[in-house]
Structure 1
Amino acid sequence: MWKKFHVNSGVPEKNKLKALVLYASGLLMNQIKNLRVANRIKSVLLSDKG
């Protein structure tokens, strides 16, 4: 992952940091979305048993 940022030596550090933050926040949003989907599936499965 870090190699991508080192290859772009012409890109200002500020822009590299911004790109990294946006990338990390995107991963976090994906994780939250996946967790919500998993919880929804779990609640549907548990309600069928009852």
Structure 2
Amino acid sequence: MNIYFLVEGRSTEKKLYTAWLTHLIPEIERVDFYDQANHNNYTKSGY
């Protein structure tokens, strides 16, 4: 499963989603770019 988040906030939302995902789905890993996501990854984009 891969997840892509588009957030509006400058810092709070990015921190919140990272903490939330690592708590709920510990095996998921963050990637910096969408094309790096292949299995159990997530990435964030926003302002």
Structure number with bigger Rg: 1
**TM-score per shorter chain, which class?**
0.3 to 0.5
Higher relative contact order (CA 8 A, sep 6+): 2
Flag the structure with higher strand content: 2
Instruction: Give the TM-score normalised by structure 1.
Output: 0.32
Flag the structure with higher helix content: 1
